Amino acid sequence: MAVVRARSNDIDMLARLLRAEAVGEGERGMLLVGNVGINRIRANCSDFKNIRTIPQMINQPHAFEALQHGMYYQRARDSERRLAQRAVNGERSWPGKFSLWYFRPGTAANPLPCPPTWYNQPLVGRWKLHCFYEPTAEECENIYNTY
């Protein structure tokens, strides 16, 4: 059962985002990006107030580097569509489980340590090159609600 509303074209949009943002991080890394995206839709806090759909989340200004650098327009594959559907269905994994932000410090050839905070949210963990940040319950209680 989906935790956010998603039509077929929404799943395709999310799948393209997963590929563009984290294809080098493997399936789990792409699923973690999906977790963050779905969390942003469900959160209704911080920079994500009134974000209710996958297109709104993806097209929020300055939200994803892949959009800024033209990587988003690659075609999604079936494997990414399956990952996108899993995220929409509510599958969440650490460190993206409650995260609203992720960030890749440095480059693939020269990764840097994760900053302790990002947009005033504490570091919760790292998956390969990406650092994940989640809000406190006081700042954003909706993110911790069960489905």
* Reported pTM: 0.93
pLDDT of residue 124: 98
pLDDT of residue 12: 94
Q: Nearest Cα to 141, choosing from 93, 100, 89?
A: 100
d(CA 103, CA 22) in angstroms, rounded, equals 11
Residues 80-133 have pLDDT tens digits of 999 999 999 999 999 999 999 999 999 889 999 999 999 999 999 999 999 999
Q: Which residues pair with 132 in a beta bridge?
A: 102, 125
Domains of the chain, first to last: 8-144 (1.10.10.2520)
Residues 14-50 have pLDDT tens digits of 999 999 999 899 999 999 999 999 999 999 998 999 9
The CA angle 6-9-14, to the nearest 5 degrees, is: 70
Q: Is 71's pLDDT higher than 70?
A: no
DSSP string, the chain: --SS---HHHHHHHHHHHHHHHGGGHHHHHHHHHHHHHHHHHH-SGGGTT--SHHHHHTSTTS-HHHHTTGGGSPPPHHHHHHHHHHHTT---TTTSS-SEEE--B-SSSB-PPPSEETTEEEEEEETTEEEE---TTT-GGGG---
Query: Please, which pLDDT band fits residue 146 given cuts at 50, 70 and 90?
Result: low
pLDDT of residue 73: 65
Task: Tell me if 10 sits within 8 A of 2, measured CB to CB.
Answer: no
pLDDT of residue 63: 84
